[in-house]
Structure 1
Amino acid sequence: MTADDILAAARQCLGTPFRHQGRLLGSGLDCAGVAIHVARQIGVGHLDVSGYGRTPASGQLEHSLDSQPCLERVAMVDDRLPGDLLLMRFAGDPQHLAITAGDTLIHAYESVGQCCEHRLSRLWAARIVQVYRFRGIE
C-alpha cells in the first residue's frame, strides 16, 4: 500500500453528501466515514465506532484513534505526509478528521455539505492536533 492508494481511496469520496455518522459512499459520509472508507479500500482494518455525538468530549475521538492497530501516531504535526490522517480541533476537544494530500485536505465537511478537497491554508493547518499514519505504507 502506498500514499497514492490512500489518496485514490479518499478521492472516491469527493462529492458524497455530508451525513453525520454516514458510512455509505455516494449517499452520505461524515469525516470518520471518509477515514473508514479509506481503511476498507486499502485493506488495513476497521476503524468504525458508532453512536458518537457531533462534538466528541473527554478525548473520545483521540482515544478511538489511539486504539486502532492500523494507525500509528506521528511524533510531530509538521512531519505529516500525503496519505496521513489528521485529527483536528475547531473548538473544545478534537472533533474532525481529514486525509492530507500534501497541500490539500480531503474530508467530509458539514459547512460545505459534502466531501471535498481544498487547500491546506494556515487556518486549517492550525487546527491540526495530531497526525496518524496508516501502518504498512511503502
Structure 2
Amino acid sequence: MNADLVVAAARLWLGTPYRHQAATLGAGCDCLGLLRGVWRTLYGDEPMVVPPYRADIRDPAHAGALRAEAERFLVPVSGELAVGQVLLFRLNGMAEAKHCGILVGSDRFIHAQERLGVVEASLTEAWARRVSGRFGFPAAR
C-alpha cells in the first residue's frame, strides 16, 4: 500500500478521543480502533468483526491476539523502519504486543493513548525498544 495514503488516513484521526473498543473518527477509538479506521479508509470495510476485549493489558485471555490478527490481515516486514508501517509494541515488560500505532515519519508515529486520544508522538528510544513487530497494509484486499 502506498505509504502516503496510509499516513494521510492515519492523520485524519488526530485529536480523536480515546474510547476503549471504539473505532469512530472524531468520536473515539483505541489503538486497534485507529487501525480499523485506517483500514476502512484504505479498503472500504473491515476484514472481520472484532470480538470484545478487555482494556486491561494483563488480560491473559487475549495474549498474542494482536500479533495473530496482524499476521492474518497485514504483511510482515523486515529491514529498516519505513513510513506507513504498523508497529506492534510490548508494554510494561510483557512478552506479547498489547499496543499498536502507525509510523508516519522516520521517528514519528500515530497511536491512540488513554487520556490523550489519537496523537502523533516521537518514536523515542524507549518506544523503539518496545517494538515487537512491524507490518504493512496489503497492496489490495
Superposed, 1:3-22 pairs within 5 Å as 3-22=3-22
In 1: Cα distance, 2:76 partner to 2:109 partner:
18
C-alpha displacement of 1:115: 0.3
Query: What TM-score do you get using the length of structure 2 for normalisation?
Result: 0.85
Per the alignment, residue 50 of structure 1 pairs with: 51
- Tell me which moved more, 81-90 or 54-63: 54-63
Describe how 1:32-71 pairs up with structure 2 within 5 A: 32-43=32-43, 46-47=46-47, 49-54=50-55, 55=57, 57=60, 58-68=63-73, 71=74
Name whichever of 128-137 and 17-26 sits farther off: 128-137
TM-score between the two structures when normalised by the length of structure 1: 0.87
Please state how far the C-alpha of 1:35 moved relative to its aligned partner. Answer: 0.6
Equivalent residue number for residue 97 of structure 1: 100
Please give the alpha-carbon distance, in whole angstroms, between the structure 1 residues aligned to 2:47 and 2:103. Answer: 18
Q: Unmatched 5+ residue regions in structure 1?
A: none
SS at match of 2:18: coil
One-letter amino acid of the structure 2 residue matched with residue 35 of structure 1: L
Q: State the 1:134 CA deviation.
A: 0.9
Superposed structure 1 runs of 4+ greater than 4 Å apart: none
Task: Provide the C-alpha distance between the structure 2 equivalents of 1:130 and 1:44, rounded to a whole number of angstroms.
Answer: 25
1:43-79 CA-to-partner distances (Å, cap 9, x unmatched) read 17625523112225431111121121xx111134xx2
Q: Supply the distance in 1 between the matched residues of 2:45 and 2:136 (Cα, whole angstroms).
A: 13
Percent identity (aligned)? 34
Q: 1:21-36, aligned counterparts within 5 Å?
A: 21-36=21-36
Give RMSD over aligned pairs. Answer: 1.8
Aligned residues: 132
How far does residue 36 in structure 1 lie from its aligned partner after superposition?
0.8
Gaps of 5+ in 2: none
